[in-house]
A = this chain, B = another copy of it.
């Protein structure tokens, strides 16, 4: 539903090809929205025929040519309209929680490895976000913006979204520790795994 709008935002931040958008959705935008290249190409085509984006063929050397998309006036208007409409606060959809409650009817100890694996992934994501924060939101640029007294809205807003990702990963890690402690309590024989 909001994939179109996520694409508009990304293209406003920087025009690019479908492939580049797919990469961004794996990285920064993927912090809060995911999409595969198939989806992106399909939606881009519809957006193009609706006049929301403009296309420009860019010939390249040593690489296949690409189509660079940028936001057209109609797209900007569509985004603006969406921004002014209220959206439903969304609920989480967490497979792992289903598994945890399901473990009551199976072997809770069998879940330990799985939860540890998830914990590992979230540790890596947190490190990745924090590295991005240091790279993009600390140092001279941040200082000069503050010193000038007029903060850069785009940067500030990107930063607060990133802080949301950091908070989410930290919360998740703490919760997964809670889950692991609970699972250990239910299966006192299991060792706390390898170091």
Contacts and interface: CB of A to CB of B under 8 A. Distances in A.
A104 B153 contact: yes
Interface size range on A against B: 35 or more
Contacts of A161: 97, 100-101
A157 B122 contact: no
- Oligomeric state, in number of copies? 2
A9 B101 contact: yes
A182 B156 contact: yes
B151 A13 contact: no
Contacts of A104: 12-13, 153-154, 157-158
A102 B153 contact: no
A12 B105 contact: yes
Nearest to A108: B153
A58 interface: no
Interface in A71-103: 76, 79-80, 82-84, 86-87, 89-103
Nearest to A92: B32
A168 B33 contact: no
B94 A32 contact: yes
A79 B95 contact: no
A148 to B, nearest CB: 14
Interface in A2-21: 2, 5-6, 8-9, 12-13
A51 interface: no
A178 interface: yes
A186 B102 contact: no
30 contacts: A2-B95, A5-B98, A5-B99, A31-B91, A31-B97, A32-B93, A32-B98, A33-B93, A76-B105, A79-B106, A82-B102, A83-B106, A83-B110, A84-B106, A86-B114, A90-B93, A90-B94, A92-B92, A97-B161, A100-B160, A101-B161, A104-B153, A104-B154, A108-B153, A156-B186, A157-B182, A163-B175, A163-B178, A170-B171, A171-B171
